[in-house]
Amino acid sequence: MDFRLTPEQQQLRDTARRFAQTELPGLANEIEARHEPLPREWMTRFASLGYLGINLPAEYGGHGMSHLDAVLVLEEFAKVSPAVAFPIFESCFGPILAIAHFAPEALRKQLIPQVVAGEKIVAVSMSEPEAGSALTDLKTRAVPDGQHYVLKGQKRWCSGAGHADGYLVYCRMSDDAGAKGIGALYLEKGAKGFSFGKQEQLMGFRGVPSADMYFDDVRVPKESIVVPAGGGFRKLMEAFDLERCGNATMSLAIAQGAFDYALGYVQERRQFGKPIVDFQAVQLRLAEMAMKVEAARLLIYQAVSNAAAGLPSVRESSMAKCFANEMVREVAGSALQLMGAYGYSKEYPVERRLRDAWGWGIAGGAIDIQKTNIAGALVGRRFDQRR
């Protein structure tokens, strides 16, 4: 077992790091201040550098690289800010992966090249006002009508809502109860009857839009069905296992960025006539932070490497996400505490990282849900939360 990156992976990581650290910090600050998404022209630039669709299949216009390669790039961008990294996240770990694995051939050929070229953003829409962790309680419904489905309902907490060009919408597509009735379809922004609510004001995630979405008898061609009902829910959740690894990488990057900043600070900040890193209490906290960051990284690498070009297991992806989500809250909090009032000040980047850190343990499946997934994988069965 070799834990070293290949020379090509090291070069990919180092090139992404130089670009992110040189080109993106000022942009990240502007996005944070304005609370607006990454400007579209940057999508074209990311695409020209090969940072979109890194792990998407080459036959559909992707770069055909590994999930680990995508993790390496995503981490370097997200160290600067999740907002500037979000296009990498969406194009490598978002719903486009479900489309790449399960959508009809024509839809793959249509969408994937546009995503890789930075011409189109695709977001996922899962949660509803009364269906978050209990995803099988979805009420948004798509009813067949000739060569179309008629979509009606409401979605909530969709990251990218109003900004993305297309949406993978999880919905009920048959009268079968629970998971058997759920499938997913692709819907373009601008479709008649498709509208958005006001933008949410969140604690963190500034620059990542979130809003309700409303479907008022929206007609969707049958060719846009990505996964039909009847066993389709299992496929959708398999694709979501890879999204969990992207979520975990965002947490890892925020923690690494907070740790790096605090590590530099404690070597410069002086109290009682010496750098505060000379105090044992500071040394112990630094060691604990570093161990947790590295442990999260190894869990993520394990999950995506074992998946090869396929999809990771629910056990490994849930472990990676759960650990990273808890770790980033602890590490970002410790970084802020080491910096004292400077860490609490908006003039410095650590308080933003703490705000952003908290959201990843809510998005993409709550921390406790991941623990239930892990326990289920350990005993070889799913736990019915309704009984």
Same domain, 133 and 167: yes
The CATH number for 167's domain is 2.40.110.10
Write phi, then psi, for 328 (nearest 5 degrees). -65, -35
* 3 confidence band (pLDDT: 50, 70, 90): confident
Assigned domain for 191 exists: yes
Assigned domain for 91 exists: yes
Q: 126-176: per-residue pLDDT in tens?
A: 999 988 888 888 999 999 999 999 999 999 999 999 999 999 999 999 988
**Domain containing 282: what range?**
233-379
The CATH number for 112's domain is 1.10.540.10
| Closest of 68, 102, 383, 54 to residue 238, by C-alpha | 102
For residues 109 and 112, what is the distance between their CA atoms, to the nearest angstrom? Answer: 6
Q: 362-377: per-residue pLDDT in tens?
A: 999 999 999 999 999 9
Write phi, then psi, for 292 (nearest 5 degrees). -65, -40
Per-residue DSSP letter, 131: B
Assigned domain for 386 exists: no
For residue 153, the surrounding DSSP H or E stretch is strand 148-159
The CATH number for 287's domain is 1.20.140.10
Same domain, 199 and 243: no
Percentage of the chain with pLDDT > 90? Answer: 88
Is pLDDT above 80 for 386? no
pLDDT at position 135 is 82
Q: 260-316: per-residue pLDDT in tens?
A: 999 999 999 999 999 999 999 999 999 999 999 999 999 999 999 998 778 889 999
For residues 287 and 30, what is the distance between their CA atoms, to the nearest angstrom? Answer: 33
Same domain, 375 and 238: yes
* pTM reported for the whole predicted model: 0.95
Beta strand 141-145 with 148-159 is antiparallel
Compute how many other C-beta atoms are within 10 angstroms of the C-beta atom of residue 195: 14
Same domain, 160 and 247: no
Assigned domain for 385 exists: no
Assigned domain for 155 exists: yes
pLDDT at position 126 is 93
Single out the residue in 116, 131, 147 at which a domain terminates.
116
The alpha-carbon radius of gyration of the chain (Å, integer) is 21
Degrees to nearest 5, angle at CA 203 with 264 and 123: 100
Same domain, 11 and 102: yes
Same domain, 56 and 134: no
Single out the residue in 86, 116, 146 at which a domain terminates.
116
CB 55 within 8 A of CB 69: yes
Burial class (CB in 10 A: 0-12, 13-18, 19+), 161: buried
| Closest of 6, 58, 13, 18 to residue 249, by C-alpha | 13
Assigned domain for 1 exists: no
For residue 316, the surrounding DSSP H or E stretch is helix 314-339
Q: 311-353: per-residue pLDDT in tens?
A: 889 999 999 999 999 999 999 999 999 999 999 999 999 999 9
Residue 162: C-alpha distances to residues 17, 101, 190, 199, 265 (Å):
30, 25, 10, 8, 39
| Structure token digits, residue 153 | 């309902």
| Closest of 79, 28, 94, 24 to residue 293, by C-alpha | 79
Name the E strands within 141-207.
141-145, 148-159, 166-172, 182-188, 194-199
pLDDT at position 213 is 98
For residues 19 and 182, what is the distance between their CA atoms, to the nearest angstrom? Answer: 41
Domain tally, the chain: 3
Same domain, 178 and 165: yes
Q: 34-66: per-residue pLDDT in tens?
A: 999 999 999 999 999 999 999 999 999 999 999
Same domain, 240 and 307: yes
The SS3 call for residue 350 is helix
For residue 151, the surrounding DSSP H or E stretch is strand 148-159
* 235 confidence band (pLDDT: 50, 70, 90): confident
User: How many angstroms separate the most distant Cα atoms in the chain?
Assistant: 79
Single out the residue in 90, 116, 142 at which a domain terminates.
116
- Summarize the confidence of residues 119-131 as an average pLDDT: 94
Same domain, 58 and 156: no
pLDDT at position 134 is 81
Packed helices 314-339 and 232-268: angle between N→C axes, nearest 10 degrees:
20
Percentage of the chain with pLDDT > 70? Answer: 100
- Per the prediction, the chain carries an average pLDDT of 95
Strand partners, 125: 169
Assigned domain for 387 exists: no
Same domain, 312 and 360: yes
Same domain, 289 and 186: no
Torsion angle (degrees, nearest 10) of CA 346, 351, 352, 358: -150
Assigned domain for 384 exists: no
pLDDT at position 233 is 80
Same domain, 63 and 154: no
